[in-house]
Amino acid sequence: MTPHPHLSDELSAHLQSCEQSLLDPALRRDRACVSALLAEDFQEFGASGRICSREQILDLLTTENYDPPTMEDFKCHWLAEGVVLATYRAVREDGSSMLRSSIWIKEAGEWRVRFHQGTRVT
Which residue from 105, 98, 99 is spatially nearest to 78, judged by alpha carbons? 105
Which residue from 10, 9, 33, 11 is spatially nearest to 83, judged by alpha carbons? 11
More confident residue, 32 or 62: 32
pLDDT 10s digits, 89-100? 999 999 999 999
| Dist. CA 32–CA 86, nearest whole Å | 23
* Domain boundaries of the chain, sorted by first residue: 9-120
The model carries a pTM of 0.91
Q: What does the chain come to in residues? A: 122
9-120: CATH topology: Nuclear Transport Factor 2; Chain: A, (3.10.450)
